[in-house]
Structure 1
Amino acid sequence: MQQLDIFSLFVLIGGLLLISVVAWAVPVRLWVEAISAGVRIGISYLIGMRLRKVTPAAVVRPLIWATKAGIPLNINDLEAHYLAGGDVMRVVRALISADKASIDLGFQQAAAIDLAGRDVFEAVQVSVNPKVINTPKVAAMAIDGIQLIAQARVTVRANINRLVGGAGEDTILARVGEGIVSSIGSAVTHQAVLENPDAISKSVLAKGLDSGTAFEILSIDIADVDVGKNIGADLQAHQADADKQVAQARAEERRAMAVAQEQEMKAKVEEMKADLVKAEAEVPAALAEAFRQGHMGVMDYVRYNNVQSDTEMRKSIATGDEEDTEPLA
């Protein structure tokens, strides 16, 4: 009797485990939902999805939505997209939205957009309801040297046909910023830009900045324009300061050359004075030699002293010296 109770317990546990495995492998509730929605799918296919490590609800429920929306889809395509790492639910929602908005969008194109890493459902929404992108503040300088800081609002609409391989919002912002800088930079005065900011919008919009992007630019509106620094004056001030430093350096160079030349001339004067002193020291010896050889007499010597005294007197008068001249011998 005791052995029978143990056997019954094992049978009960085994039955519960079998029921749990069957309930996991066979999503009966999901199968009933599909049948009630008009989606013909077999229990064996759902079991096969389990074995292929595919969550049946992630494929079957989007198929139910598409069927109820009147969009014919193949469950094999949905499962393949799931196995490829795509978001089946998002793709089906995008297809339903596109169908209601009369946008030509097929499953293969939507799946390719989703696998490319873009939100295909958001793309359909942006295609129906255009999106406004606020650009960061862009600083540019007009020809008169005044800096202007502008901010724009770009209204874009998603281009479904260019979502795969097309550039994103960052490219749009970069191109619009470049266009704003170019437009402001070509303005003669900053007042012209402030008086007519629409000229920037028209100039930028005419350049076809949406080429090669996943968006179509509908409008570019200048939201704000502020006056910045007087860059032209700053540049002129910096240039004047640089010119001043160059002039000072050249003046210092000339001063140094003048000082060097002055010192050189002083050295030459001292050298000439030394030669003069040396020559004057030889005069007495020359006079003595002249007396010995009879080339010079007493009267000649007196006349020599008179000439020398006269010369010293003239120097004293010229320089204002009040010292008495040396008496004649």
Structure 2
Amino acid sequence: GGDVIRVSKALVAANKANIPLNFQRAAAIDLAGRDVLDAVKTSVNPKVIDCPNPVGGKTTISAVAKDGIQLQAKARVTVRANIERLVGGATEETIIARVGEGIVTTIGSASSYKDVLENPDKISKTVLAKGLDAGTAFEILSIDIADVDVGENVGAKLQADQAEADKRRFQAVAEQRRAAALAREAEMVALVQENRAQVVLAEAEIPKAMAESFRQGHLGIMDYYRMRNVQADTHMRESIGGEGARPPKE
């Protein structure tokens, strides 16, 4: 069920390149769905993998340094096929994902974006030292940073967003307090009106009490006139003072 012609060509190419490859392994690689001839060619002539893969829609890998500045990097990974791990080994996508993760980690651990711009080879050395080709069908020969650009100030943007969120929270608290103050003011106005009503009711009881005092002899006519004079004098003083008190009741 395999491709005998490509297997044969792969065996010939491997023999000329002095690559150890027997028929059983070549047939197993072919039956596993891998292109054995292309694998032999990649072993002889290493291929370059773009990281990230432009086919996926992304052209750069974005990461943020500790000072909050975003960097956008692009890497080229030179790989060589590992014949021994072609069967069951991870594909190019795994290499791209691991290299991308290593770039993000390296940039994220940098104290300043300037350190990365000054030494972009530090990224490739750090990532290459992680042994990212373990368990894959390739052997990483080199990782080269093709481009590093400065992106936006993510740290400042996050701080601005946090400040805006705090502002809205404080405004909500202030509005809540204002509403509580208005409600308390309304309660006080209602309480004042209630107390005034009680005063009016109490004043309405005064004539009854005076009449009862007359009947029981506790209050004489002269006492009544003296009280009226005091009330009239008080009303006059309040009128002069501008308080506008109402005249005494009969």
- The TM-score normalised by the length of structure 1 is 0.69
**Identity over aligned pairs, percent:** 68
For 1:293-304, list aligned pairs within 5 A: 293-304=216-227
Q: Provide the rounded CA distance (Å) in 1 between the counterparts of 2:163 and 2:93.
A: 40
Q: Name the CA shift for 1:282/1:225 in 2 (closer, same or farther; >3 Å).
A: same
- Report whether the alignment pairs 1:280 with 2:193: no
- Report whether the alignment pairs 1:125 with 2:41: yes
- Say which SS state the counterpart of residue 125 (structure 1) adopts: helix
Aligned to 2:3: 87
Q: Are the equivalent residues in 2 in contact too, given 1:134–1:152 (CA < 8 A)? A: yes
Aligned partner letter, 1:121? L
Aligned to 1:223: 146
**What per-residue deviation string (whole Å, max 9, x for no partner) do you get for residues 133-154 of structure 1?**
1112111111111111110000
Q: Provide the rounded CA distance (Å) in 2 between the counterparts of 1:234 and 1:218.
A: 39
Q: Are the equivalent residues in 1 in contact too, given 2:66–2:109 (CA < 8 A)? A: yes
Q: Name the CA shift for 1:164/1:323 in 2 (closer, same or farther; >3 Å).
A: closer
For 1:1-329, list aligned pairs within 5 A: 85-136=1-52, 137-312=60-235, 315-316=238-239, 320-321=241-242
Which of the pair is proportionally richer in helix? 1
Aligned partner letter, 1:308? Q
Aligned partner letter, 1:133? I
Q: Name the CA shift for 1:92/1:262 in 2 (closer, same or farther; >3 Å).
A: same
**What per-residue deviation string (whole Å, max 9, x for no partner) do you get for residues 155-184 of structure 1?**
111111001110010000000001011111
Q: Are the equivalent residues in 1 in contact too, given 2:235–2:245 (CA < 8 A)? A: no
Aligned partner letter, 2:131? G
Runs of at least 5 residues in structure 2 that lack an aligned partner in the other structure: 53-59
Q: Provide the rounded CA distance (Å) in 2 between the counterparts of 1:98 and 1:240.
A: 64
Runs of at least 5 residues in structure 1 that lack an aligned partner in the other structure: 1-84
Q: Are the equivalent residues in 2 in contact too, given 1:309–1:325 (CA < 8 A)? A: no
**What per-residue deviation string (whole Å, max 9, x for no partner) do you get for residues 116-149 of structure 1?**
1111111111111111111121111111111111
- Say which SS state the counterpart of residue 149 (structure 2) adopts: strand
Aligned to 2:57: none
Q: Provide the rounded CA distance (Å) in 2 between the counterparts of 1:168 and 1:150.
A: 22
Higher relative contact order (CA 8 A, sep 6+): 2
The structure with the larger Rg is 1
Q: Are the equivalent residues in 2 in contact too, given 1:141–1:184 (CA < 8 A)? A: yes
Q: Provide the rounded CA distance (Å) in 2 between the counterparts of 1:220 and 1:110.
A: 29
Q: Name the CA shift for 1:315/1:116 in 2 (closer, same or farther; >3 Å).
A: farther
Q: Name the CA shift for 1:162/1:265 in 2 (closer, same or farther; >3 Å).
A: same
- The TM-score normalised by the length of structure 2 is 0.90
Aligned partner letter, 1:225? V
RMSD of aligned residue pairs (Cα, Å): 2.0
